[in-house]
Homo-oligomer: A and B are copies of this chain.
Amino acid sequence: MNASALLLQPQDYSLLTDLYQLTMAACYVGEGLEQRSASFELFARRLPEGFGYLVAMGLEQALDYLEQFCFTSEQIAALQATNIFANAPSRFWELLAESRFSGDVWAVPEGTIVFADEPLLRVEAPLWQAQMVETYLLNALNYQTLIATRAARLRDVVGDEAALLEFGTRRAFSPQASLWAARAAIAGGLNATSNVLAALQLGQTPSGTMAHSLVMALSALEGSEEQAFTAFHRYFPGAALLIDTYDTIAAAQKLADRVKAGEIQVNAIRLDSGDLVTLSQQVRQLLPHTLIFASGDLDEYEILRLQSAGAEIDGYGLGTKLVTGAPVNGVYKLVEIDGIPVMKASSGKVTYPGRKQVFRRYQNGVLEADRLALSTEPPQPHETPLLQPVFKQGKRLY
């Protein structure tokens, strides 16, 4: 396997799908039904544990995918070589060879708050196309929506002033996951990411402090933790200092002495272990003009606990519990075929038939109520329809 294997190029997009999308498409072709007009809606039946809302995110990548959708002759040959399609109609291969996404898409704008059962997106396209794009659309929207929602929940908890930094790259589920997480986290309310590539791709400035390894290496080679801090400030004046490598309070005490002596300026420190409540309070007393950052398996629940216990923390690094964990379980369901509303009746997974719209009503700028209705129903007074056209006959509208 060469070095680029298991990376993803834009031309790979169309094969990033479950096999059954292709076999079902072949069946539709064989039955002569592939061009029938189909509508699928993407929504979450239930929100993740404890979540009251979702922040829709990932539409940009979803639309990138639809724009690029096509099959190369090499890809078609690779599919044929599997022998899975030995009995598929030859017209299926012609369809793939000439394929472009030619449908309409309606979606809520990125950043929109949505609730359970409310469509984030609806695809109206020839049946085989609408079917085939399911896997990638879910992949694109499920993860970024999760991260943007968590980011919004974190911002809710800490208020406007506190810094929230995305530090999750090492724990993200693949390099690309770290890029998508950084994008969605910033869109959802975080201030910055430590991921250099993500920050540069997003037009942001990356953020970061220092690691224990620098303190350990320079302590060993130059003699002390103090010298490590001084050395780092030579090249990054004012950079946050990580003070918990050996003894947090001893480190803070020494820094306080040096601040008093005018030897160093300590704009910010980071705590990454121990009892963050007590430590942050003690550091605040020793270094009253220093910003205190905390990290280490933090999430909105732990931050709430720290706040209510009186921790003195000005900023948070979010990693593992921001970028991993339980997902948004979005699904993509057929709601109408050839003008016929359809539904499934599976136990616990019943769907609502027909093409739908979410009508949202605000009262004094506050969301008062949503009404999930058929898309053909007119809005009532003071209602705004959330789903907007983003693709029209295969052409991206924004």
Contacts and interface: CB of A to CB of B under 8 A. Distances in A.
Interface of A: 1, 3-10, 12, 15-24, 26-28, 30-31, 33, 36, 38, 40, 60-61, 64, 67-68, 78-79, 82, 84-85, 87-89, 127, 131, 134-136, 138-140, 142-143, 167, 169-181, 183, 194-201, 205-214, 216-222, 231-232, 234-237, 239, 244-248, 272-275, 320, 323-327, 329-330, 332-334, 337-338, 340, 342-349
Nearest to A209: B20
Scoring A16, A167, A237 by chain B CB atoms within 10 A of each residue's CB, the highest score goes to A16
How many copies of this chain? Answer: 2
Contacts of A21: 211
A50 B380 CA distance: 52
B210 A20 contact: yes
B167 A197 contact: no
Given A197-B15, A236-B87, A326 B325 contact: yes
A206 B75 CA distance: 14
Given A30-B235, A345-B247, A216 B334 contact: yes
A1 to B, nearest CB: 7
B346 A207 contact: no
A294 to B, nearest CB: 13
A211 B20 contact: yes
A171 B177 CA distance: 12
B170 A138 contact: yes
A218 B36 CA distance: 11
Nearest to A19: B208
6 contacts: A6-B180, A6-B198, A18-B196, A30-B234, A36-B221, A134-B170
